[in-house]
Chains A and B, each alone.
Chain A
Amino acid sequence: MILATLAGLVIALLRRSRFAGLRWCASVYIWVIRGTPLLVQLVLIYTGLAAVGIYQFHDVSLLGLSVKAAVQAAIIGLMINESAYIAEIIRAGLDSVPKGQFEAAASLGMKPGKVMRWIIVPQSLRVMVPPLGNSFNGMMKTTSVLSVIGVSEMFLVAQSISSYTFHTFEIFIVAAIYYLALTTIWTFIQAHIENRLARQLGIEQRVRITQRLLGARRAGAPTLQPQG
């Protein structure tokens, strides 16, 4: 997810590049990746590349841990897939910052990189976190697709247990609870991040976890643009 966010950031910035060629590359990347299923991408990366002899993943050991070939392919595949969506989220976030903010920063003599770092990104984060959270949440569940290339993730494990115990219902209920537990933990983290960002903007907003999970109403959603 972190890799995907970084890659997504790079692609989103490419799309804003001064050079038409870079913008074009980024757009095509997003178009192709979002237009094809993750399942197909994974099989292409893991099996397809090896079949045509471009690249074959091998097990490697990293910091004393052995990383299986399929796991490497899974990480790369998920990163590529997710980065295209994240690039779009970041683009929307950056677009949400009013033009006057760019102009004010530029008129102080800030270079484009600093304008992004100190003025634009801090303001767009707040807009980006909820959809990024969605993405992350979705990705945790998408890991079930990885069973296709033989990564022993939860779904594959559950399937193999059920195939010799025949307790299909019980085992997949347990799997579902595990998935729910993982995404719930993320929900907590996301609420924490959102509250922090709101505090940075001087907005009194406390989303309680219970509100978050049980969908309680939030009165008077705060807006980002105080100036008229």
Chain B
Amino acid sequence: MSLCKCLFGRNAVTTLLCGMLWASTPAFAQSGAQVIRGINGSWEAYPQRAAGLGSTARGSLPAPAPVPEPPLKPEHLTKWKADQTRNAELTQKGLPPVTSGMACLPEGMPGMMQGTFPMEVLETPGQVTIIQEAYNQVRRIYLNEKLMAPEDAEPRFSGHSVGSWEGNTLVIRTVGVKDSVRFRNAPHSMNIRITERIRLVNDEFMENQVTIEDPEYLTKPWTWTWMYKRWPGYKIQEYVCEDNRYFEDPALGHQRLRVQ
């Protein structure tokens, strides 16, 4: 019996029977989707990057290890290290190098999963949606669907993601991240694959084990763990980058504020 007929049965008995059948079926099983696993809600990066960016609540959990250097192939690592050194020197001199964020471009994947501002996770039948407040970034993770081949994936900032629950861990696989997107300034190809393993540590904390694979640029998978702290009741705010006043200095190429 179709859902349509259930909802629009032509007589009272049919409607009643359909309603009983519907109510006795596990939540969301009607659509073949997974039940909700409790990662719904607002989260902030943990530990907080700085005062003012998040809630005033502090956590007791140890901070995860810092994201390691990208295991770039030697020919890319040399340039990456030189760029990092140069950028640090310029910043020290008050001449910070241009960034994509300066041009109001979003971080994309995986940076948006440890964005500057809080993020919201929405579990709905067949889909997990993650909204990062900064730049109104949204990624939709389709559950139990087949991951497309990287060559078929239209390049996007957040890529294309599918997910599945393995026990209490949500495993998300992502392809199709635009090769102009930079995380930690590391270059990548359109064959990049990102795997995330997200699970609740307890009611208060959520963990994300991130692995990036890109044989064109990396010598081995680049892995680290990010942590999030739940922020009960926090409502994600709008972020439209409408009033950018920064530009690239035409002479020196660094960030400049348009003062007048």
Q: Do A and B come from one complex?
A: no
Binding site for A on B (CB under 8 A): none
Binding site for B on A (CB under 8 A): none
